[in-house]
Structure 1
Amino acid sequence: MPVLITVVAVVGALSTLNLVLTVGVVKRLREHTKMLGAVQGDPVRLEVGQEVGAFDTSTTLGEPLPRDLLSGPILFGFFSPTCEPCRDKLPRFVEYARQEPGGRSSVIATVVGDAGAAAEFVTELTQVAHVVVEDSGGAMSTALGIRAFPSVLRAERQTDGRLIVVDDDVALGRPTSLTA
């Protein structure tokens, strides 16, 4: 009988310990869920219908690139040399941009990061786009609200003169076409 009492006491103690640990895990999961919800709620780029912010920068070739001189549909691509998905998406972006109806004049690619590390990206992108290299939080990234890489957007000039995002996640696998 004393053995049975000891076994029941040990099982009871282990069950109580298990209950305490489970309550702690559930509390921690709720905290993490709340943190993830806050992160996912922040947009990582401008969304359809939002206006592109002001920017006045220049390309790697020294060409001035003010927002107010852009017209027609513009394809924007944002890449970072430290981002592995960017390396995977870059060839598809180059091929897609090569087929843009407006040609190179309707494509702007921004490489965010160190100019030395960006050189490989710049070489590929210069063939098909106006290329801007900037640090994190630069004029182009700020104007389009970019907080994740790679990002590909399309914007168009409206009749009232505003430059508005018309596609906030361009599918590079589909053929290019002008948006209506």
Structure 2
Amino acid sequence: MPFLIPALVLVGALCVLDLILTLGVVKRLRDHTALLANTSAVDTYTINVGEHVGEFTSSSVDGEEVTHQLPEEDTLVAFFSPTCGPCKDKLPKFVEHVERRGIARERVLVAIVGDAEESRGFIEQLSPVARVVSERSDGLLTAAFKVKAFPTVLTVSPDGVGGTVVTDNDVRLDAPAALAA
């Protein structure tokens, strides 16, 4: 019985300490949530809307020359990596998106970033609907479009003076045709 009161005081003190620490963690989580809400993930990992694409010249896997001077219409540009799980999930949606909207092959540019051997499956799926460039992570297209995360899907347009500007850096592949850009 003489140990009951000190034990009860100790348990009470531990509960108060736990409550204080829990409230501190909740406050910290709220602060981080507010910071994340003010940061757009798209802006962090790729080029921004309205920015000009850097200059590049490359060759597609079919031997076509690909440059920053794209066709005189909107062009869909995507970046996939064979080592990226979400890329494997998004790839069929991307192909379906292009086919569903009837986008001409010359208006679709895809960079497969990674080892050439691992990229083979991606290239086979994309070649019928897009001009495909295979490159390493430090490749010209990846640098020109400032891509830091995969998958990335953009829409670009000519700026009228020989350059290319980003018009959408968060293309929704699952949106209905009337709503998608």
Query: What is the TM-score with the length of structure 2 in the denominator?
Result: 0.78
SS of equivalent residue, structure 1 residue 149: coil
Hey, what does 2:123 align to over in structure 1?
A: 122
Contact 2:70–2:164 at 8 Å: present in 1 too? no
Q: How does 1:35-46 map to 2 (within 5 A)?
A: 43-46=44-47
Q: How does 1:134-145 map to 2 (within 5 A)?
A: 134-145=135-146
Distance 1:146 1:6, change over 3 A: same
Identity %: 42
Please, which runs of 5 or more residues in structure 1 have no aligned partner? none
Hey, what does 1:88 align to over in structure 2?
A: 89
SS of equivalent residue, structure 2 residue 6: helix
Report how many residues are paired: 179
Hey, what does 1:5 align to over in structure 2?
A: 5
Contact 2:123–2:132 at 8 Å: present in 1 too? yes
Query: What is the TM-score with the length of structure 1 in the denominator?
Result: 0.79
Please, which runs of 5 or more residues in structure 2 have no aligned partner? none
Q: Partners of 1:178 and 1:5 in 2: how far apart?
A: 68
Contact 1:112–1:136 at 8 Å: present in 2 too? yes
Hey, what does 1:175 align to over in structure 2?
A: 177
Letter in 1 for 2:94: F
Asked if 1:147 is matched to 2:133, the reply is: no
Contact 1:100–1:106 at 8 Å: present in 2 too? no
Q: Partners of 1:94 and 1:164 in 2: how far apart?
A: 23
CA-based RMSD of the aligned residues comes to 3.3
Letter in 2 for 1:18: D
Contact 2:77–2:108 at 8 Å: present in 1 too? yes
